[in-house]
Chains A and B, each alone.
Chain A
Amino acid sequence: MTLYRQGKVPGSFYDGYGQEAVSAGAALAMAPEDRLCILHRDLAAHIIRGVTPARMFAQYLGRAAGVTGGRDGNVHFGDYRLGCVGMVSMLPDMMLVATGMAMAFKIRGERRCALTWFGDGSTSRGDFHEAMNWAGVQKLPVVFVLENNQYAYSTPLDKQFAVNPVERAAAYGFIGVTVDGNDAEAMFEATRAARARALDGEGPTLIQAETMRMHGHAAHDDMKYVPKEQVEEWRKRDPIERQEMRLRSVGVDIEELRASVRAEIDAAAEEALASPMPDPSTATEGVFHEGEAEPLGNGLARWSGFAAPEPGGEAAAEAGAVPSEVVS
């Protein structure tokens, strides 16, 4: 945000301030061979899969070293070698892509799943219905994470749907659960369970993660339409603070942790700021692929002990690592 305000970030700037647990908790439950369609407020998912902060900063700054090399804007990225598909602006198009990935897994008999995040607003579009329906009809191993952060830009929930969206899962033939989106461990558990169901052939799950968007829709939005009381109430439930409390209770030095993270972030920002802009002469390259198509690769899954291959390495990894038991 600071960089954006300094004018170093081209275009618009979206963040997921206050929603961090929705992506962190869910992504941590994924295995290396699982596939993710990540949305614009889910940066944690990218980090968990193995995208370095420096590359992410470079991406926002439109640098050549960014994940898309400057080809797409700040949030629209996904490192395919780590199993992440970059989103498009039309929402929730990626629900269908995740559904399709799950479809392929099922056809090939593989024990893995696909996961996608999408917002409350996007459930009003046709692709939500087509994806939910398709996944339900074919009983696909896909996890749909609905990030209900109370507002779609300025549109509140009561203008978006007439029913609680979690109830819709039943209409498509599968389970819907509501989870406290600001509780990282709850998110993790819900996702782990959904994944297990998927791998056992029980079909999709809709996880409604309730959270609150603490900044505007984008940096250019001052959120005037949100009642202050609502903001205050959700501030008390800040996900990072809650997790920090938990960690402190088991003896983790939070200040040290914060300092080291801060240092890492600062170093990453500096590295990104020093990196060059893309070469204009390459602007028309890369529209088509030549040669063999390379599918998505495996990402980091620390919880299962899997270290992702070096960037640029082979995707491979058919046999997925079984996620270890959750330590609660």
Chain B
Amino acid sequence: MPTMTYLQAISAALRDELRADDRVLVMGEDIGVFGGAFKVTDGFIDEFGPDRVMDTPLAESGIIGTAIGAAVVGMRPVCEMQFADFISCGFDQLVNVAAKMHYRQGLAVPLVVRLPSGGGFSGGPFHSQNPEAWFMHAPGIKVVAPSTAADAKGLLHAAIRDPNPVCYMEHKHLYRRVKGEVPEGIEETPMTARVARPGNDLVVIAYGAMVHTALEATEDLDGASVEVLDLRSLVPLDTGAILDSVARCSKVVIVDEANTTCAAGAQVAAHIAEHAFEDLDGPVVRVSTPDVPIPFSPPLEQAVLPSVERVREACRELLAY
């Protein structure tokens, strides 16, 4: 089984799909000739041509809107927002046209929007956001967020093959920092959660980059047995796995890189409070970025993003409770 980086896994998935299915089309700003801002589609245009690896005008609404049109006449467009932050320019098309089309008209929109998200490298307020909660809140959109290279490939396959609009949250900071074994060929990762490390005393629930933060923070925590649950899919949310972990561990820490209020973790916490009340041996604790735009200068940014230390402290406190 080959080992590759998270970014290479995304490239590999796109390449496999472009080869396997004529209907697949990759579109975004600077992705063709330039190979993409992060080089995800480097070299693609040579193999697949400018029609299927499309350099679009600078128009996020246009990218999403035309992708919808292409999708309803039988294509499988995979749009890229150069940075997840720019999805706000295409919000209307995604939330009002794509998301609601099937419910209203019975017309499926098989569309993927790749969203390079997350911070940690001085990207500043407009290149570091984690906007998944906005789309969890719009019925009709699926949202996935891989944390490993294998899942980066598997979930992208699953997203492309899903007949619904899917937001694919690829965490930029993991692009080259995460490596792993990735199965060859096209294997879809199911849109379910994954136990990253099993445990009994406490469970840390996270997704994306925070899974790695959680694993590091709880690797050696005074001998406690700490489970880490990688959600992988936010819509649909694997509530079965969440409740299983809570039943086993009874203590929960939820880590969000996104801003605290109404982040994905808030939904998880609410669900646990309602459905696992009798399994809880302590309050449901959240570690998340405070409600501020992500600052640019490193000391400021590091102060707000959930650090290994903060997660570790929260776990330690809750274990002792």
Contact = CB atoms under 8 A, between A and B. Distances in A.
A86 B105 contact: yes
Interface in A130-147: 130-131, 133-134, 137
Interface in B52-90: 52, 56-57, 59, 61-62, 64-75, 77
A79 B34 CA distance: 40
Contacts of B75: 104, 107
A5 interface: no
A205 interface: no
B142 interface: yes
A296 B104 contact: no
A130 B65 contact: yes
Interface string B89-107: 0001100110011111111
Contacts of A130: 57, 59, 61-62, 65
Given A72-B104, A130-B59, A291 B163 contact: yes
A192 interface: no
A89 to B, nearest CB: 7
Contact of B96 (A69, A90, A133): A90
B51 interface: yes
A103 interface: yes
B107 A96 contact: no
B108 interface: yes
Given A131-B62, A134-B62, A287-B103, A96 B69 contact: yes
A118 interface: no
Contacts of A162: none
B61 A98 contact: no
A294 interface: yes
A127 B96 contact: no
B125 interface: no
A287 B139 contact: yes
B69 A103 contact: yes
B74 A295 contact: yes
Contacts of B69: 96-104, 114
Given A101-B70, A134-B62, A93 B97 contact: yes
B290 to A, nearest CB: 32
Interface string A73-108: 000111010000110111001111111111111010
Contacts of B104: 68, 71-72, 76-77, 86
Contacts of B139: 287
Contacts, number: 144
Interface residues of A, number: 48
Interface in B2-45: 25
Interface string A272-306: 00000000000000111111111110000000000
A40 interface: no
A10 interface: no
A49 B149 CA distance: 48
A87 B292 CA distance: 37
Contacts of B77: 100
A35 interface: yes
Contact of B68 (A78, A80, A97): A97
Given A98-B69, A103-B69, A133-B62, A80 B96 contact: no
Most buried by A among B75, B103, B109: B103
A158 B77 CA distance: 39
B118 interface: no
A88 B97 contact: yes
A288 B140 contact: yes
A281 B62 CA distance: 37
A126 interface: yes
B67 A100 contact: yes
B233 interface: no
Nearest to A318: B74
A97 B105 contact: no
Contacts of A289: 102, 108, 163-164
A80 B72 contact: yes
B116 interface: no
A131 B63 CA distance: 10
B136 to A, nearest CB: 13
A100 B65 contact: yes
B107 A85 contact: yes
A115 to B, nearest CB: 12
B110 interface: yes
A142 to B, nearest CB: 9
A103 B27 CA distance: 12
A93 B72 contact: no
A89 B95 CA distance: 12
A80 B163 contact: no
A290 B162 CA distance: 8
Given A90-B96, A99-B65, A295 B105 contact: no
A90 B92 contact: yes
A35 B73 contact: yes
Contact of B73 (A96, A126, A295): A295
B66 A293 contact: no
B63 to A, nearest CB: 9
Interface of A: 35, 67-69, 71-72, 76-78, 80, 85-86, 88-90, 93-105, 107, 114, 126-127, 130-131, 133-134, 137, 286-296
Sorted nearest first, the 9 A-B pairs with minimum C-beta distance are A100-B69, A96-B65, A100-B66, A293-B163, A293-B108, A130-B62, A289-B108, A295-B74, A101-B69
Given A96-B62, A288-B142, 16 more contacts: A72-B104, A86-B101, A89-B96, A90-B97, A96-B65, A99-B62, A100-B66, A107-B70, A127-B61, A133-B57, A134-B56, A287-B102, A287-B140, A289-B108, A291-B163, A293-B110
